[in-house]
A = this chain, B = another copy of it.
Amino acid sequence: MTAIILDGLGLANELALELKQEVNSLKVIPVLKVILVGNDPESQIYVRSKEKRAREIGINLEVVSLPETIEEREILDLIDRFNKQDEVDGIMVQLPLPQHISYHNIINALDPTKDADGFSAVNMGKLWLNEPNFIAPATPKGIMTLLDHYHLELAGKNSVIIGRSNIVSKPLASLLLARNSTVTITHRQTTNIIEIARQADFLFVATGQAEMVDKSFVKPGAVVVDVGINRTDHGLVGDVNFSEVKQVAGYLTPVPKGVGPMTVISLMEQVVSHAKMREENGAKSD
């Protein structure tokens, strides 16, 4: 038996075509501002993949490159300006930020409706509480879209998340719980992690440790979602040992071409959705 591979890139390409048609039918042009501080080479790779998708779809993505030494105050002023500009649909701050800048201050300064990454406390809180009108972080949102595409039903199933990051694991837990899955969050201090992982119908791995999850973690037939992206001597790999786990899992996301493209397309969906709302509101006030 070998796992069915969940084709994130294929689905993202399909969704990009649909989004392009949606954008063509709009009178307004969706605008996304990406704030990039410093010269982290990883960040630049991520930003380029977003630029490529945005161009394809017809989103006006502007990268605002700021020097490593910029003061927090200046970024806050810039955010304040974008918050007030009606034509801006989304603002995102590429992570990581330099040490002297408070991530919390920056992210919570975003207008919640323009917080394209959904990382602000108020969006995270609304998502956790199942309130209406939140923005879900792109990675967990993209994972849900991918699982839905393959008709993988979460309700009543055991979901186990390895890792507890704010940007992936916690919002993922919120979404899984809203889908009526039983949710376990494990982390470095979990003592019996393999035993817990082996009970998962859905296993989500977001640890940042290359290929740490081997087949001993996986119940036969389980759905395994690999959120990791690690650059190694033998190329890009995930947090899951792909060749081993694909012999045991029922479904498995590859790295690359799995969760990564779904993250980018989810961000774009968010921006287009804000632009549609803006057009509707504009039409109403005409």
> Which B-chain residue is minimally distant from A123 (CB atoms)?
B125
Q: What's the Cα separation between A184 and B101 when bound, in Å?
A: 34
- A64 interface hit (Cβ, 8 Å): no
User: Beta-carbon contacts of A160-189 to B below 8 Å, as 1s and 0s?
Assistant: 000010100010011001001111111101
B189 contacts A185, C-beta separation under 8 Å: no
Asked whether A155 lies within 8 Å of B125 as measured between CB atoms, the reply is: no
CB A218 to nearest CB in B, in angstroms, measures: 18
Docked complex Cα distance between A172 and B87 (Å): 40
- As for how many copies of this chain the complex holds, the number is 2
Residue A284 is within 8 A (CB to CB) of chain B in the complex? no
Contact call B156/A190, Cβ cutoff below 8 A = yes
Q: Which residues of chain B come closer than 8 Å to A158, judged between CB atoms?
A: 192, 196
Are A155 and B189 touching (Cβ within 8 A)?
Answer: yes
Secondary structure at chain A's binding surface: helix, strand, loop or mixed? mixed
Q: Looking across the interface, which residue of chain B has its beta carbon closest to that of A122?
A: B122
With a cutoff of 8 Å between Cβ atoms, the chain B residues found around residue A187 in the complex are 177, 180, 182
Q: Does A191 contact B (CB under 8 A)?
A: yes
Chain B residue numbers with a CB within 8 Å of A124 are 125, 128-129
How far is the CB of A100 from the nearest CB of chain B, in Å? Answer: 17
Q: Give the docked Cα–Cα distance between A187 and B123 (Å).
A: 24
B131 touching A120 by the CB < 8 A rule?
A: no
Q: Which A residues are closer than 8 A to B by beta carbons? A: 104, 120-126, 128-132, 155-158, 164, 166, 170, 173-174, 177, 180-187, 189-192, 196
A178 (CB) vs chain B CBs: closest residue: B164
Which of B129, B182, B185, B192 is close to A166, meaning CB atoms less than 8 Å apart? B129
In the bound assembly, the distance between CA atoms of A6 and B158 in angstroms comes to 31
Q: Cα distance A223–B196 when bound, in Å? A: 20
Determine if A129 and B170 form an interchain contact, defined as CB atoms under 8 angstroms apart.
yes
**With A121-B122, A182-B187, A184-B182 as given contacts, are A104 and B128 in contact (CB-CB < 8 Å)?**
no
CB-defined contacts of A131 to chain B, threshold 8 Å: 104, 121
Residue of B nearest to A126 (CB): B121
CB-defined contacts of A166 to chain B, threshold 8 Å: 129-130
Nearest first, the 9 closest Cβ-Cβ pairs linking A and B are A125-B125, A121-B125, A124-B125, A184-B184, A182-B190, A180-B189, A121-B126, A156-B189, A122-B122
B104 near A170: Cβ-Cβ < 8 Å: no
With most chain B CB atoms within 10 A of its CB, the pick from A129, A156, A164 is: A129
Residue from A104, A125, A170, A186 whose CB has the most chain B CB atoms within 10 Å: A125
What would 5 A/B residue contacts be, using CB atoms closer than 8 Å?
A: A121-B122, A128-B170, A158-B192, A183-B184, A184-B185
A162 CB → nearest B CB, Å: 11
